[in-house]
């Protein structure tokens, strides 16, 4: 029984942790209009001010920062030409917003061994980390990690799926 309780605790702790993490999903928080509460207005000449707020470009689902994936060729650990603008855009944001931190998560396709793939995914994350650092992002803002073959974006055992999974994702913390 005791075991069961601690299991339940672990499970719920894991749920909480998972709930805190939403990799690559763009938070869609549009302009916040704080409308007055529907309480009866006592004085018809009262005015309650509204604050519009601003859009963090990071949260603009149509902005360049919404693209957070960098793809790699088979057995390659070099940021391709199509990945350079993605890295540059995020480097620009991170150098302006030095309090923001990112995880760069490297991924591989499903072929091969679990742990060796984890190390290969790390090489992809590391390539992106170096590229961000070379564009002025401070080391303390970036952590390169790997999920190996464990979190494929595309399921399936074909080249299209594998290409989709040879990837590094920039995840804001």
Partner 1 sequence: MKKLHFLLFSVSLAMGTAANAQLQIEIAGVGSNQIPVAIAAFADESVAPDKVSAVIRADLERSGVFKVIDAGQVISDADAGQVNLNAFKASGANALVVGSVARQPDGRFAIRYKLLDTIKGGEISQLGGEVQPRYTRLQAHRIADDVYEKLTGIRGIFSTRIAYVKEDRAASRYTLAVADADGENEVVATQGKEPIISPAWSPDGSKVAYVSMENRKPVVYLQDLMTGRRNVISNQKGNNSAPAWAPDGRTLAVALSQDGNTEIYSVNASGSGHKRLTNNAAIDTEPQFSADGQTIYFTSDRSGGPQIYKMSASGGNATRVTFNGNYNISPRVSSDGKTLAWISQRGGAFSLYAMDLASGQELRLADGATEPSFSPNGKYIMYATKGGGRVSLAVVSVDGRVKQRLTTKAGNIREPSWGPFMK
User: What minimum distance in Å lies between the beta carbon of 139 and partner 1?
Assistant: 10
**Positions in 83-122 near partner 1 (CB under 8 A):** 103, 105, 111-116, 118-120, 122
Asked if residues 111 and 148 have their Cβ atoms less than 8 Å apart, the reply is no
If you ran DSSP here, which 8-state letter would residue 167 be given?
Answer: E
Residue 75 to residues 40, 82, 108: CA-CA distances in angstroms? 66, 17, 9
Alpha-carbon distance 76 to 39, whole Å? 62
**Contact between 21 and partner 1 per CB under 8 A:** yes
Closer CB to partner 1, 150 or 159, in the complex? 150
User: What minimum distance in Å lies between the beta carbon of 96 and partner 1?
Assistant: 24
Angle at Cα 57 formed by Cα 99 and Cα 95, nearest 5°? 35
Contact footprint for partner 1 (CB under 8 A) = 2-3, 6-7, 10-11, 14-15, 17-18, 21, 23, 103, 105, 111-116, 118-120, 122-123, 126, 143-148, 150-152, 155, 157, 171
């Amino acid at each position: 029984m005791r075991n069961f309780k601690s299991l339940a605790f672990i499970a719920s702790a894991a749920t909480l942790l998972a709930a805190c993490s939403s990799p690559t999903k763009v938070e869609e928080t549009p302009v916040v209009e704080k409308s007055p509460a529907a309480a009866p207005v006592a004085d018809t000449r009262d005015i309650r001010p509204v604050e519009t707020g601003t859009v963090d470009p990071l949260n603009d689902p149509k902005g360049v920062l919404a693209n957070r994936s960098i793809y790699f060729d088979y057995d390659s650990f070099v940021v391709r030409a199509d990945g350079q603008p993605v890295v540059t855009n995020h480097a620009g944001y991170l150098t302006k917003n030095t309090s923001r931190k990112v995880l760069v998560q490297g991924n591989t396709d499903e072929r091969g061994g679990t742990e060796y793939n984890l190390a290969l995914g790390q090489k992809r994350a590391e390539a992106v980390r170096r590229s961000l650092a070379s564009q002025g992002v401070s080391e303390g803002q970036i952590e390169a990690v790997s999920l190996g073959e464990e979190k494929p974006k595309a399921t399936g055992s074909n080249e299209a799926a594998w290409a989709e999974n040879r990837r590094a994702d920039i995840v804001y913390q």
